[in-house]
């Protein structure tokens, strides 16, 4: 993607131009080329860079040249600095973003940061808030090179991730007089592979060891602009850039008219030359200092043009350049983390090209050799980055997240993954009850590739659940009692090992994919969210043992397919939804069920006699519905012949009780208050009963008993359980407020 990697330079210069105009009233065009040529300590020219480093370079350099003094020449060594167009970066963004947009952009886009823009203003149109964003794709794109993007969305990332990593410069005072142009600057003598390791000029950085989409060890290919081969040990020159590692050759490919690279086909698959160009085998030692510190792509360069009081006074004037004094914004974006003004940078060295020498990497940074293995070092980086995002920690948990042994951090547990039996790493995270606050768990849980369990009950984590498909070993996911929002996290459908899924007490909304109920789960807790949809017709195909859908907006009838769960379903809560229709007799086939709760819905009809086969049921709740007729004697006999401890039928329209039911009323096992039963206290008024009973009835009276009661009685339970002792009922108990 030639040309996309210079976005950091364009965005940096746009921000500096803007703050200079605001402070001095002088709008001048500054030099992107100087950043690309000279800011090579951490940034990589056309191969990408970060805004924070660019701002630090300008501060340390005493300013930046104007475009007139340091003109743009569209070159950065081997790579051309080409102002971005829609064509050159079409593979980096969702297609919706490339359409020339008039009006406020509301289309789809992702949040993987790999392009930089600059926010220059904001406004509101027809009640929709928006940012005014300047892009670098030319004036024929969008609205004369600008776009209006949605603002104030209900997400911490902002539209297209615009709020994820903002930074901005500040400035104090007027500019000194222009002393004239500075001499041209040569290309940096070294190539930065990452923050700590560089290769000599006229070579190419190639990754030797990659893990979790990050490079942790580098080698130097002895050819400039080379292609790094997939074996991580060889490379090909730019004139034969296609690696054929198996054959040990470098092959030619060509650029088709549509700008896509492709292989030659047929007999002319290879260019016939007298001697094959062998891959350049490089000496690529594993270097401890080659680990990167940031998880974001180096192309990340989203900034906000926000103005705050100056946090530092830069008065050093570079010889022969028109200087713009800036300081890095602290506390809102960029890399600042405090309120103190940064220490002034020393005057740059007086070298011939006007470029400051690269800064030395900080010596206090932990090195990979400090850790038991590479996996634990990578986990350390992920944990420390997440630690910086935590905004409250009432129990002082994160104070333990220090040192070179992440397996000893509170809440983290290690084990060796199946593919590395001798390499223990973070395999389990248990934050239950920690009450930590963080705007998102994205970039944390999804960046621990060997994670098997993630339990985060009772915290203050928000935002959507990130894409967890990169965690092949995950089998327990509990994010209950947080403030997560968005749709159901459909990525869980890809987990073949998942057996425990707990999303209760969050702000998830919308529908639940029917295929969720086909997952090989033991536990599925979805209660106390905002899910709204009919129950899937094949609900009974779910192998789940403990299911709670309580306190949502599920609608429609209870599917007759529930009989297919007769050998698996132990506890089920349909409590407090909007279910309707007749009670299916198939419920009576749930032979191992101990809890069946469909209270407070809109179910109607008589109770099928098949319910008398629920010999193991202990809690049967149908209260708060529109049921009518007689309470069957065979159901009440479950208290004697089975394990029935509680039968809740209050708030219905029953008119008769079976013979065995009267004893249950006296023993308070059966609750039939607010019905229409003569001779019992606390019943509905006669007028209310008459009004309901004269309505047309459509549900059949089912006297079918699929089991032989005389042969199916079970030994009564030794003691009667309470609702607080059942797994599903426990899921209804929300912990105290955070």
- How many whole angstroms separate alpha carbon 281 and alpha carbon 266? 29
Distances (CA, A) of 709 to 215, 640, 674, 720: 67, 12, 30, 22
52 neighbors 90 (Cβ within 8 angstroms): no
- Of 31, 103, 41, which is closest to residue 70 (Cα–Cα)? 31
E runs forming strands in 295-408:
303-304, 327-328
User: Which helix (H) or strand (E) segment is 604 a member of?
Assistant: strand 602-605
Task: Spell out the residues 6+ positions from residue 315 whose beta carbon is closer than 8 angstroms to its own.
Answer: 325, 344
- Of 35, 41, 381, 60, which is closest to residue 197 (Cα–Cα)? 41
- How many whole angstroms separate alpha carbon 648 and alpha carbon 613? 17
180, with CB counted inside 10 A (0-12, 13-18, 19+), is exposed
Indicate the SS3 state at residue 7.
Answer: helix
Distances (CA, A) of 140 to 98, 99, 101, 135, 146: 11, 11, 10, 11, 10
- How many whole angstroms separate alpha carbon 703 and alpha carbon 505? 40
587: tokens are: 């419920």
Q: Give the dihedral sign, CA 547/551/555/558.
A: positive
- Of 318, 287, 322, 451, which is closest to residue 382 (Cα–Cα)? 451
Task: Spell out the residues 6+ positions from residue 497 whose beta carbon is closer than 8 angstroms to its own.
Answer: 472, 473, 474, 475
185 neighbors 64 (Cβ within 8 angstroms): no
**Residues known to be catalytic:** 7, 115, 135
Q: Map tokens 């924070």 to a residue.
A: 52
650 neighbors 677 (Cβ within 8 angstroms): no
Task: Spell out the residues 6+ positions from residue 708 whose beta carbon is closer than 8 angstroms to its own.
Answer: none
Residue 10, φ and ψ in degrees, nearest 5: -60, -45
Task: Spell out the residues 6+ positions from residue 345 whose beta carbon is closer than 8 angstroms to its own.
Answer: 56, 59, 60, 314, 316
155 neighbors 463 (Cβ within 8 angstroms): yes
- How many whole angstroms separate alpha carbon 460 and alpha carbon 483? 6
Strand partners, 205: 220
26, with CB counted inside 10 A (0-12, 13-18, 19+), is exposed
User: Which helix (H) or strand (E) segment is 647 a member of?
Assistant: strand 646-648
547 neighbors 569 (Cβ within 8 angstroms): yes
Distances (CA, A) of 46 to 55, 82, 302: 17, 9, 16
Q: Map tokens 């040192």 to a residue.
A: 403
105 neighbors 147 (Cβ within 8 angstroms): yes
Residue 120, φ and ψ in degrees, nearest 5: -115, -5
- Taking only Cα atoms into account, the Rg of the chain, rounded to an integer number of angstroms, comes to 34
């Amino acid at each position: 993607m030639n040309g996309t990697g210079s976005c950091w330079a364009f965005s940096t210069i746009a921000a500096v131009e803007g703050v200079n105009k605001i402070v001095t009233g002088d709008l001048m065009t500054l030099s992107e080329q100087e950043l690309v040529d000279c800011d090579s300590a951490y940034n990589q020219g056309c191969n990408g860079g970060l805004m924070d480093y660019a701002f630090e370079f300008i501060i340390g350099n005493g300013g930046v040249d104007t475009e007139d003094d340091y003109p743009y020449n569209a070159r950065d060594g081997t790579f051309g600095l080409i102002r971005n167009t829609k064509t050159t970066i079409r593979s980096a963004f969702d297609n919706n973003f490339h359409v020339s947009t008039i009006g406020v952009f509301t289309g789809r886009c992702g949040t993987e940061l790999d392009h930089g823009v600059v926010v220059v203003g904001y406004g509101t149109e027809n009640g929709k808030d928006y940012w005014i964003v300047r892009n670098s794709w030319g004036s024929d794109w969008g609205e004369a090179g600008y776009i209006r993007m949605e603002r104030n969305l209900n997400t911490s990332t902002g539209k297209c991730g615009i709020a994820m990593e903002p930074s901005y410069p500040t400035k104090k005072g007027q500019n000194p007089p222009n002393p004239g142009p500075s001499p041209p600057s040569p290309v940096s003598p070294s190539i930065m592979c990452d923050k700590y390791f560089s290769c000599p000029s006229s070579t190419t950085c190639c990754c030797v060891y990659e893990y979790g989409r990050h490079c942790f060890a580098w080698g130097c290919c002895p050819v400039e602009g080379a292609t790094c081969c997939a074996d991580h040990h060889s490379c090909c020159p730019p004139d034969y850039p296609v690696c054929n590692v198996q054959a040990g050759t470098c092959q030619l490919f060509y650029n088709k008219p549509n700008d896509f690279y492709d292989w030659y086909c047929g007999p002319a698959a290879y260019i016939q030359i007298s001697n094959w160009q062998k891959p350049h085998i490089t000496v690529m030692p594993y270097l401890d200092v080659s680990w990167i510190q940031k998880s974001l792509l180096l192309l990340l360069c989203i900034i906000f043009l926000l103005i705050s009081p100056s946090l530092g006074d830069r008065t050093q004037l570079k010889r022969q350049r028109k200087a713009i004094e800036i300081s890095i914004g602290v506390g809102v974006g960029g890399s600042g983390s405090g309120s103190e003004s940064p220490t002034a940078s020393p005057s740059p060295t007086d070298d011939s090209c006007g470029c400051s020498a690269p800064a030395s990497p900080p010596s206090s940074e932990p090195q990979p050799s400090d850790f038991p293995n590479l996996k634990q070092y990578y986990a350390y980086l992920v944990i420390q980055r997440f630690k910086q995002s935590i905004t409250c920690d009432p129990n002082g948990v994160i104070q333990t997240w220090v040192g070179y042994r992440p397996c000893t951090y509170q809440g983290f547990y290690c084990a060796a993954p199946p593919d590395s039996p001798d390499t223990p790493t973070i395999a389990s995270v248990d934050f239950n009850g920690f009450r930590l606050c963080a705007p998102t768990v994205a970039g944390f849980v999804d960046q621990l590739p060997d994670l098997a369990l993630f339990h985060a009950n009772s915290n203050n984590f928000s935002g959507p659940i990130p894409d967890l498909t990169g965690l092949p070993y995950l089998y327990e996911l509990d994010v209950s009692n947080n403030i997560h929002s968005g749709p159901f996290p459909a990525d869980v459908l890809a987990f073949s090992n998942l057996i425990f899924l707990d999303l209760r007490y969050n702000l998830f909304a919308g529908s639940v994919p029917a295929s969720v109920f086909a997952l090989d789960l033991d536990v599925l807790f979805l209660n106390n969210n905002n899910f709204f949809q009919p129950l899937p017709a094949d609900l009974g195909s779910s192998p789940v043992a403990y299911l709670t859908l309580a306190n949502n907006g599920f609608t429609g009838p209870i599917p007759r397919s529930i009989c297919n769960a007769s050998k698996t379903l132990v506890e089920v809560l349909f409590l407090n939804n909007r279910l309707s229709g007749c009670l299916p007799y198939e419920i009576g086939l749930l032979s191992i069920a101990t809890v069946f709760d469909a209270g407070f819905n809109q179910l109607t009809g008589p109770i099928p006699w098949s319910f008398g086969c629920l010999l193991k049921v202990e809690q049967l709740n149908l209260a708060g519905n529109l049921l009518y007729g007689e309470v069957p004697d065979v159901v009440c006999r479950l208290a004697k012949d089975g394990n029935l401890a509680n039968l809740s039928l209050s708030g219905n329209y029953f008119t008769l009780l079976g013979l065995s039911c009267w004893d249950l009323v006296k023993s308070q096992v059966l609750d039939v208050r607010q019905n229409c039963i003569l001779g019992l206290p606390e019943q509905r008024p006669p007028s209310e009963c008459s009004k309901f009973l004269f309505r047309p009835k459509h549900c059949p009276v089912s006297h079918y008993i699929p089991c032989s009661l005389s042969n199916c009685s079970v030994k009564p339970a030794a003691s009667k359980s309470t609702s607080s002792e059942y797994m599903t009922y426990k899921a209804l108990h929300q912990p105290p407020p955070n």
